[in-house]
Chain A
Amino acid sequence: MRPVLKRVRRHLLTAFALLALAYLLLPIAVVVLFSFNDPAGRFNYTWQGFTLDHWLDPFGVPGLSEAMSNSIRIAVIAALAATLLGTLIALALVRYAFRGRGATNLFIYLPMTTPEVVMGASLLTLFLNLGVATGFGTIVLAHIMFNISFVVVTVRARLVGFDRHLEEAAMDLGANEWQTFTRVTLPLIAPGVLAGALLAFALSIDDFVITVFNAGATITFPLYVYGAARVGVPPQVNVLGTMIFMAAAGLMLATILVQNRRAKGAT
């Protein structure tokens, strides 16, 4: 191929990729921008003017702080429980050969490939048929359920490269099984477990579909946004959305920087 044409195509791919990235980031920019908007009426659709008011008073609309606090409490409980249950499953799947391992591996993927609307609906039929009132508790149960698989997959990915000789060495040096687990195994798998817990927290705080089926009268942050969408979303929602975005992106960025530094140190 002639060099000119080659160069054009090389740049064509780059241009396309940059456009695709712009497409992915455009709505985020809109969310951030409109958190500084000073809307004239109830609807925060068109740019009216710059203000810091909503950032100075992020909970200045009724119900929003309660919804956010519900979301955070649910996410913390669900993430802790799902991390515990999921880590145990991942340990069993990676470190032991046992009958039913293949079936368990397959079963773990099922909740991840079932449409959320079906999962939410079937959980609701369970609670309806058993006469359980839906609310805070049922949301927590639902969130633990859909998070377990994600934790298993995340923790398992980190466990695969795990060197079992380290545990054997500890045992040879006189540590018992419990000491070996707490002093050797746990510190080694901790990054994977932490990653799983953070993912579970993020999925839980973002979930709308499964939550709306099992929420009863409890309002979480996504449910609040959904309710507000009909009557006009207050800019405070954009403020909180931007805060969540910055926290999550900042955490990921820090992880990448730490990994890069480690990789550099290793070479």
Chain B
Amino acid sequence: MRFLHRHKGLIPYLLLAPGLAFLALFFVVPSYYLAHTSLQEGSVSVGYTFAWAWSNYTDAISAYHEQFTRSLVYAGVATALAFCISYPLAYWIAFRGGRWKSLLLLLVIAPFFVTYLIRTLAWQTILADEGLVVSVLTTLGIVEEGGRLLATSTAVVAGITYNFLPFMALPLYASLEQIDGRLIEAAEDLYASKLHAFLRVTLPLSLPGVFAGTLLTFIPAAGDFINAELLGTPRQSMIGNVIQSKFLVITDYGQAAALSFVLMAAILVAVLAYTRVLGTERLAR
């Protein structure tokens, strides 16, 4: 205690040390081993040796570029859909929720209280061939006779949209809720139409939420493999499926690690590009 009293500047570092050491050991160091493994040659039977095997990267990309593209496209579409569903919902709760706001928010995050795998399996039941949705859509002629929803891209994208929607809705709500209603009234007093007031006042002020929400949805969506596995077929498989099976089923560690690295890099590039676009747009205003 006396020592601490004399060296007050040390206290924050002492508080940080255990947690940051843990993260260094089990978050930073593993990234090094992932890079190391991605350049190893060999197999489980003969063992792995480090050999600057860049071929792991070139082979993996040429073999799985299709799954890569699919992951980014599915994640992009799911993020856009989640935005279109979440924005009006978040807007409604923020401006019309009144004293029910907390309760309505509870309903928005309710899916998180059901185990991820179980709620995805529930979609399997809902979209099943003999299920209600398919029979209604067939009657309406939207799905052709004998057509399926399960095991299609639609099902996988729908599953991803559903599973990550609260990640979109919560930041949107947080930024919309902070908007001073008087600003919107002021715009309308100054003869802006409802639409104009929304486009010029509400939407720009909610951009931080849009930014956070889209990232929080896109990143886990691009790496997801549960939805493709439970709601799709190998024809819908995403890069997460490839990484998972290469690590845990085929035990082709070199390529699996290379693919993980490329996924991380691709997401980083996408996020940076996105930050630039949205960042400059905000500066221009």
Contact = CB atoms under 8 A, between A and B. Distances in A.
A117 B263 contact: yes
Contacts of A226: 117
Interface in B88-106: 88-89, 91-93, 96, 102-104, 106
A27 B16 contact: no
Interface stretch (A56-64, A88-96, A183-191): A88-96
Interface string B104-132: 10111111111111110111111010110
Interface SS, A side: helix
B208 interface: no
Query: Which residue among A89, A113, A117 has the maximum number of chain B CB atoms within 10 Å of its CB?
Result: A117
B237 to A, nearest CB: 13
Contact of B22 (A46, A117, A148, A176): A148
B125 A115 contact: no
Contacts of B124: 45
A217 interface: no
B170 interface: no
B234 to A, nearest CB: 14
Given A17-B89, A126-B26, A177-B1, A27 B12 contact: no
Contacts of A125: 30, 33-34, 36-37, 253, 257
A135 B262 CA distance: 28
Given A27-B114, A115-B263, A122-B30, A145 B223 contact: no
Contacts of A28: 110-111, 113-114, 119, 122
A237 interface: yes
B93 A17 contact: yes
A72 interface: no
A169 interface: no
A13 B111 contact: no
Interface string A25-44: 11110110010000000001
A14 interface: yes
A167 interface: no
A24 B108 contact: yes
Contact of B264 (A20, A118, A233): A118
A245 B30 CA distance: 33
Contacts of A142: 26
Nearest to B75: A115
Contact of B121 (A96, A221, A225): A225
A217 to B, nearest CB: 12
A253 to B, nearest CB: 7
A144 B128 CA distance: 37
Contacts of B15: 88-89, 91-92, 96
B256 interface: yes
B74 interface: no
Interface in B174-194: 193-194
Contacts of B33: 122, 125-126, 128-129
B245 to A, nearest CB: 11
Contact of B107 (A24, A124, A126): A24
Contact of A229 (B113, B194, B230): B230
A126 B30 contact: yes
A150 interface: no
Contacts of B9: 98
Given A25-B107, A229-B121, A176 B1 contact: yes
Contacts of A110: 27
B40 to A, nearest CB: 9
Contacts of A225: 115, 117-118, 121
B92 A14 contact: yes
Contact of B16 (A30, A92, A177, A245): A92
Given A113-B215, A121-B34, A128-B253, A89 B117 contact: no
B119 to A, nearest CB: 5
Interface in A120-162: 121-126, 128-129, 141-142, 144-145, 148, 152
Given A45-B128, A125-B253, A141-B26, A115 B264 contact: yes
B108 A31 contact: no
Interface of A: 1, 13-14, 16-17, 20-21, 23-28, 30-31, 34, 44-46, 84-86, 88-89, 91-92, 95-96, 98, 101, 104, 107, 110-111, 113-119, 121-126, 128-129, 141-142, 144-145, 148, 152, 176-178, 202, 205-206, 208-209, 212-213, 221-222, 225-226, 229, 233, 237-238, 241, 244-245, 248-249, 252-253, 256, 259-260
9 closest residue pairs by CB, A with B:
A115-B223, A85-B19, A27-B122, A96-B12, A122-B30, A17-B92, A92-B15, A122-B34, A248-B113
Given A24-B108, A221-B115, 15 more contacts: A13-B92, A17-B88, A17-B96, A21-B107, A25-B111, A84-B18, A117-B225, A119-B30, A122-B30, A128-B253, A129-B37, A141-B26, A208-B116, A208-B226, A225-B117
